[in-house]
């Protein structure tokens, strides 16, 4: 037995079109979209009456996949719970990028919030955190050459 790789990261969203647009603007590509429902998915998720829409997005290099999921039923009654960078659990998705400053400027024009500021980590990486739609936290990392 061996682990091969991370297949994808799933993100549950309320406004699927806004999240999709955000990640397309960011540079990901649509790999597929569709409706999911039925006993098979209910048995996987341990939920009843599942009906969801998914959008699979891929990186331009093909190495990673992001799955955006909008549940039509059952609904999460609590709604979006914005977390902080130190909240326990899975909190962010990290992307290796080029020209972090221009990416942050583009994201800010579209309303994305920067947590703090872009920082140089030991002349190895420029790093920052941003919050996108639905409270999704992204870490941007540019390798300094």
Q: For 1-145, list the strands marked E by DSSP.
A: 9-12, 29-37, 51-58, 65-73, 92-96, 113-114, 119-121, 125-131, 137-143
pTM for the full predicted model: 0.86
Q: Mind listing the domains of the chain with CATH numbers?
A: 9-73 (3.10.180.10), 92-143 (3.30.720.110)
Mind listing the pLDDT tens digit for each residue in 37-73? 999 998 989 999 999 999 999 998 888 899 999 999 9
- CB under 8 Å, gap of 24 or more: what pairs does 102-105 form? 103/26, 103/140, 104/128, 104/130, 104/140
d(CA 129, CA 111): 14
pLDDT digits (tens, 9 = 90+) for 115-134: 889 999 999 999 999 998 88
């Amino acid at each position: 037995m061996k682990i091969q790789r991370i297949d994808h990261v799933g993100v549950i969203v309320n406004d699927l079109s806004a999240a999709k647009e955000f990640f397309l603007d960011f540079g990901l590509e649509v790999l597929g979209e569709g409706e999911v429902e039925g006993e098979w998915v209910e048995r996987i998720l341990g939920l009843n009456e599942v009906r969801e829409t998914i959008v699979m997005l891929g990186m331009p290099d093909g190495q990673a996949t992001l799955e955006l999921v909008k549940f039509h039923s059952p609904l999460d009654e609590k709604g979006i719970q914005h977390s902080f960078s130190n909240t326990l659990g899975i909190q962010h998705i990290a992307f290796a990028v080029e020209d972090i400053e221009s990416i942050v400027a583009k994201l800010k024009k579209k309303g994305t919030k920067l947590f703090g500021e872009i920082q140089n980590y030991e002349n190895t990486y420029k790093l920052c955190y941003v919050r996108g739609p639905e409270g999704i936290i992204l870490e941007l990392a540019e390798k300094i050459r």
